[in-house]
Amino acid sequence: MKVLVIGGDGYCGWATALYLSKQGYEVGILDSLVRRHWDNELQVETLTPIAPIQQRIQRWRQKTGKTIELYIGDINNYAFLSKALGQFKPGAIVHFGEQRSAPFSMIDREHAVLTQVNNVVGTLNILYAMKEDFPDCHLVKLGTMGEYGTPNIDIEEGYITIEHNGRKDTLPYPKQPGSFYHLSKVHDSHNIHFACKIWGLRATDLNQGVVYGVLTDEIKKDPDSDNDEVDELLINRLDYDSVFGTALNRFCIQAAIGHPLTVYGKGGQTRGFLDIRDTVRCLELAIANPADAGEFRVFNQFTEMFSVGSLAEKVKEAGAAMGIKVQIDLLENPRVELEEHYFNARNTKLIDLGLEPHKLSDSLLDSLLNFATKYKDRVDKDQILPKVLWKG
């Protein structure tokens, strides 16, 4: 099958493109490269030095003999998107091509508008392009567990059956997003659901938890070895800054440079998490088991649930085992969110399709800490503390 990975130069997109290519899919990458522009705007660099996308793809071809087609442009430009789809003719579209940072969307009005226009309009363009020319194509869209918020009831996978005034119905699960970024994802979900209903499109929404890690077999120098040595031209990005850095990755990098771990508020915020290796496997499972025509499926894509505080404690323990003294600081929370709450989410659909999760373990934390230590000279300590306040 031909799979077009929109946003294939990004963190999840690059790992997914290489994994699918290795599995025998004919892969194309479509990307505007705007994520690299945002690094320049924020004056921060990924911890790992990533090569230009053309060099990455060339190295992959040299290493494996497999070709990845490249289309550079913006999906908000419908003419470009339609032309690229017409040239590649995908059987499935993996859609990572969105601004994915909650703090970025909360910087100011301009960044909130940018996030919502980029994300919502881009997705609408994809839906119209599918309707016009590729009605049988399967859209696999990256959503987020953050769409749900932190309700005081169990979180189902996309839909909930309720009884009200003696009548029963199955409805989309209520959404309580916590940022303008998360709101854009909710708008996406509603638009995709509606398009499937009226046009008979097929789509899978992957409500993903927080992803951690950088090492996948595809970027290793020797994929059959237990050695973590990587191919420098294939290495994935690893963000640690307060805008794009995710919790566990950020904690490991802070530990490596001797900076206190930055836990916001009380640290009781609980979320779903998963290894980057499980992210790519989930995408493969969704592609290999497509939704039916007219169906809008929702899978909750995470493997374990942790509070932010418990993650910090795990990093502290792993650091101690490696001779690294780790301090944990509780910072005033820059966000508006519950810091202690009930959180219990379902995640059985991908398991039923065959996902065998990687669990967060001491060995994985060692790997992350080793990565962080190797590149710690690239860390800009001025980028670690939060700079974006939800209340402005």
* Sign of the C-alpha dihedral computed for residues 350, 351, 355 and 358 taken in this order: positive
Is residue 185 flagged as an active site residue? yes
Distance CA 228, CA 220 (A): 7
Rounded to 5 degrees, what angle do the CA atoms 179, 180, 181 make?
A: 85
* Sign of the C-alpha dihedral computed for residues 303, 389, 95 and 217 taken in this order: negative
Distance CA 255, CA 230 (A): 22
Which among 173, 181, 212, 264 is annotated as catalytic?
Answer: 181
Taking every pair of Cα atoms in the chain, the longest distance, rounded to a whole number of angstroms, is 64
Which among 123, 144, 150, 216 is annotated as catalytic?
Answer: 144
Tell me if 3 sits within 8 A of 28, measured CB to CB. yes
Half-sphere CA count of 250, side-chain side, radius 13 A: 22
Is residue 216 flagged as an active site residue? no
CB atoms closer than 10 angstroms to residue 20 = 24
The token pair at 141 is 């869209």
Distance CA 7, CA 20 (A): 14
Which among 141, 185, 220, 349 is annotated as catalytic?
Answer: 185
Is residue 173 flagged as an active site residue? no
Using only C-alpha atoms, the chain has a radius of gyration, in whole angstroms, of 20
CB atoms closer than 10 angstroms to residue 86 = 11
Contacts of 157 (CB under 8 A, 6+ apart): 207, 298, 299, 300, 346, 347, 348, 349
Q: Which amino acids are annotated catalytic? A: 144, 181, 185
